[in-house]
Amino acid sequence: MNIFRFAGDMTHLCSIVVLLLKIEATKSCAGVSLRTQELYAVVFVSRYLDLFFTFISVYNTVMKVFFITSSFCIIWYMRHHRIVSQTYDREQDTFRVAFLVVPCIFLALLVNHEFSMVEVLWTFSIYLESVAILPQLILLQRTFNVDTLTSNYVFLLGAYRALYILNWLYRYFTEPGYSQWIVWSSGTLQTAIYCDFFYYYVVSWRKNERLSLPS
């Protein structure tokens, strides 16, 4: 495993820890999209089905179990925690997830490496992950609640994507025969969506800064 891949995994892990800590410490999930969190749970479950069939490494297994359990933990907080669930922006978080899930199902059925249950589900998870952040970005733009912790979460997720691109480049040049165009194209789309968010974030941050200057 190269340093980019490891750093990418760690920022991904940190992003989830930051989100959980924010929810636990502030007893609030204001500005967090439950729809995005549910999409991530679907992504992890459909991708990590291979936990039952193939063993890659202890690291791999531990990380997969962590991603699945932490995503369900966040969903539980947002849906069922007595105090946290009341802070959920239900009226603002209205993105129609079917617009993302249904095209991803069709695309996974059409474009995959092998037409088998596990492989199609894996491909579906790759496609879905690339767009799963959209409800979160729409919610951030709507509520304009650029809460530091929520934006840290989104920033860390973006850093994870960028590091994964470096990891792919590194592996492409160092491992003969390493090539994975489904993951590359979805990952590039995903990173582009984050760049769009960064642009929006910087613009609103600069606007806020200008507003707070003494007149």
Partner 1 sequence: SAKSAAKDEL
- Calculate the alpha carbon distances from 23 to 19, 76, 88, 112 in Å: 6, 11, 11, 37
Interatomic CA distance for residues 187 and 181, integer angstroms = 10
Positions 10 through 29 that interact with partner 1 (CB under 8 A): 12
Which C-beta is closer to partner 1: that of 9 or that of 38?
Answer: 9
DSSP H helical ranges for the chain: 3-26, 34-47, 58-80, 98-110, 117-131, 134-143, 148-174, 181-212
124 binds partner 1 (CB under 8 A): no
Phi-psi region of 31 (alpha: psi -120 to 50; beta: other; left: phi over 0): left
Q: What is the dihedral of CA 197, 199, 204, 209, to 10 degrees?
A: 130
Interatomic CA distance for residues 151 and 145, integer angstroms = 9
63 binds partner 1 (CB under 8 A): yes
Which C-beta is closer to partner 1: that of 91 or that of 114?
Answer: 114
110 binds partner 1 (CB under 8 A): no
9 binds partner 1 (CB under 8 A): yes
70 binds partner 1 (CB under 8 A): no
Which C-beta is closer to partner 1: that of 50 or that of 147?
Answer: 50
181 binds partner 1 (CB under 8 A): yes
51 binds partner 1 (CB under 8 A): no
Q: Which residues bind partner 1 (CB under 8 A)?
A: 5, 9, 12, 50, 54, 56-57, 60, 63-64, 67, 113-114, 119, 122, 126, 164, 167, 177-183
